[in-house]
Structure 1
Amino acid sequence: MTRNGIHHVTAIAGSARRNLDFYARTLGLRLVKRTVNFDDPGSYHLYYGDAAGQPGTILTFFPWEHAAPGRAGAGELQETVFRIPEGSVGFWTHRLIEQGIERSQRFGETVLSFRDPDGMRLALAAVPGIEAEPAWAAGDIPAEHAIRGFHSVSLMLEDIAATGAVLSDVFGFAAAASEGGVTRFRAEGTAIGGIVDLRGVGGFLPARLGRGSVHHLAFRAADDAVQAEMVRKLAANHGLRTTEQKDRNYFRSVYFREPGHVLFEIATDDPGFAVDEPDASLGEALKLPDFLEPQRAAIESVLPELA
């Protein structure tokens, strides 16, 4: 089965506690998985999303307390945009006033732009007709105003042609519109996480990864067979090689640098976040992969308190 679109976005934060406070309380996302960076188990890997943690809603973080700030530039995911109901613009404008929120129009939609406490660029796009979609009601954010997954991401690239070809040929996107130097690619029939905007910025300094930067962008593959076909197309049609498949417990992934140097991932939809804890208690306990379970005591002793 073909399921196109964004699977998740992973970024770098500073304080884990501050990160949780902002994304779970200020933005009202659900903490759907509390685990560690499998390659660096002395630090958290926190996953936020909707009630079920479905692909297209997941924003994840590596909170590295002493990470230096990142630098904006070419070769990075510049902005991560969430969907909100059209009637919620006033609610979010008032709620995020301390974040220096700015209102604009893009491709006919109202967009509220702001930054998180680490400087990560975020936005909320007001989308008509999504009021009845399921929503995670958290704290003082009523369900009627809650975020409904990803709207889009924006990439800043030296040149967009080769990246656009990968989006179209491998990931099922198609160029849909252009505005103000941005070309919008859309995955037809994908409401959540179905848009990637490409901005060509020839001559800019390259981005420098750090606190407030996006580490990588993951696209959906329904299963291993679909992922393998994407890997084949990348090699045969674009000369791009991926890593071997890595088991991330909640999905299986391969990674590669797209032509504009952004790190891309292809992640399977299965098995999902309920594979090691019930839906009702997602994100409440620290979950470790089997190979790290014998080190639980040592890992827990170095992780910072979240509350």
Structure 2
Amino acid sequence: MSQGIFGLHHITAMSGMAQKNVDFYVGVLGLRMVKKTVNFDAPDVYHFYYGDTVGSPGTIMTFFPFGEGPRGNSGADQATVTSFSIRKESLAFWTERLKAHGISFSGPEERSNQRQVITFRDPDGIALELVAHEGAESRPGWQNGPVPSEHAIRGFYGVTIKVRNHEQTSALLTDVMGFRLLEQKGERYRYEVGEGGPGTIIDVISQEDARYGRNSIGTIHHIAWRVANEDELRRWQSKLMGAGMHVTEVKDRNYFKSVYFREPGGVLFELASDPPGFAIDESVENLGTDLKLPEWFEPNRSAMESQLPPIHLPVIEGK
């Protein structure tokens, strides 16, 4: 029996300078670097994975840091906002932390269901939200980072995409992928999948006259949704093909298997398996410490390392 789609697995974006990206997501937001590897399709570029202590699916924000290069622009056919969960009691901590790091933000702004939201951007202009809500403590954050554990980010709350017409996107989400429409307010349509709640939510912004986005530095590349295992992944591959989607072959990403397709509004979706996870080539204690390469790249390690800029993790005082 199918287990369906559980929620978000990871969100992948494109950034500029590698060290600046590490300093922000580890040093400021307090996420753990759980894997330092390379873009399997462009191995002269890093692929960073940030998340909770063990890199649980539903907590992972990943980046391709391209260094100097053309800037993208966010718009229709893209994911536009990544939203993280925090505890309601952590609002004051986060407003003070953002101020202390010189980061401009708006909010806290009250939204439906008594959620409070802080909105800001990362160093490359990617839109982020911290959503304070009841029950966030049910998911642990990184316990040994620069942010006290009680205030740590608790994984994703949801993601926002923008399309010109939501109808075909909605049909795919609800009729094929198992999402449920929760509410509609103006041009915003909110859906959830699986058991619902934080980590299962997608907001679809429908704007007929929206300018199309351009993927490059400062934009989100794709959204990955969780499935239980490779068997489920292949079942979904067949189901999506049957629904008229152009789906890739199953790709081995070392830490999960996945397929890719574009939903009707043009946003790149991925389905990714939960196993095997990030501890297959490093202990949990040492996650993100060394550059890890898949076995097919190991013969070229020296050449690859010479093309990648050196980086260091921020020093965490008292840890």
Shorter-chain TM range is over 0.9
Partner of 1:146: 152
- For the 8 Å contact 1:25–1:138, the answer to whether it is kept is no
The 1:132–1:219 alpha-carbon spacing in structure 2 relative to 1, beyond 3 Å, is closer
**Aligned mate of 2:256, from 234, 251, 255:** 251
Residues of 2 paired with 1:134 and 1:292: CA distance?
A: 34
Secondary structure, counterpart of 1:304 in structure 2:
coil
Counterpart check, 1:221 vs 2:223: no
Partner of 2:105: 101
Aligned-residue offset at 1:141: 1.2
Residues of 2 paired with 1:279 and 1:165: CA distance?
A: 40
Partner of 2:179: 173
Aligned-residue offset at 1:191: 4.0
Aligned-residue offset at 1:203: 1.4
Residues of 1 paired with 2:186 and 2:77: CA distance?
A: 19
> Residues 175-194 of structure 1: matches in 2 within 5 Å?
175-194=181-200
Residues of 2 paired with 1:191 and 1:138: CA distance?
A: 26
Residues 5-39 of structure 1: per-residue CA shift (max 9 Å, x gap): 11100000000000000001100001000000111
Counterpart check, 1:21 vs 2:23: yes
Secondary structure, counterpart of 1:270 in structure 2:
strand
Counterpart check, 1:266 vs 2:268: no
Residues of 2 paired with 1:271 and 1:139: CA distance?
A: 24
- For the 8 Å contact 1:30–1:136, the answer to whether it is kept is yes
Greater alpha carbon shift after TM alignment, 64-73 vs 12-21: 64-73
Residues of 2 paired with 1:2 and 1:257: CA distance?
A: 19
Residues 53-106 of structure 1: per-residue CA shift (max 9 Å, x gap): 111000000000122111121111010000000111111111113221111223
Partner of 2:53: 51
Aligned-residue offset at 1:136: 1.0
**Percent same amino acid among aligned pairs?**
45
- Amino acid across the alignment from 1:255: Y
Aligned-residue offset at 1:270: 1.0
Partner of 1:70: 72
Residues of 1 paired with 2:151 and 2:161: CA distance?
A: 27
Residues 257-277 of structure 1: per-residue CA shift (max 9 Å, x gap): 110111111111111111111
Residues of 2 paired with 1:123 and 1:96: CA distance?
A: 12
Residues of 1 paired with 2:204 and 2:31: CA distance?
A: 26
Partner of 1:6: 8
- For the 8 Å contact 1:102–1:112, the answer to whether it is kept is yes
- For the 8 Å contact 2:15–2:63, the answer to whether it is kept is yes
Partner of 1:287: 292
Q: Which runs of 5+ in 1 are unaligned?
A: none
Residues 203-261 of structure 1: per-residue CA shift (max 9 Å, x gap): 11110111110011111111122112222222223x11201111000011111111011
Secondary structure, counterpart of 1:208 in structure 2:
coil
Aligned-residue offset at 1:169: 3.2
Partner of 2:205: 199
Aligned residues: 306
Residues of 2 paired with 1:248 and 1:302: CA distance?
A: 21
Greater alpha carbon shift after TM alignment, 81-90 vs 125-134: 125-134
Residues of 1 paired with 2:29 and 2:217: CA distance?
A: 19
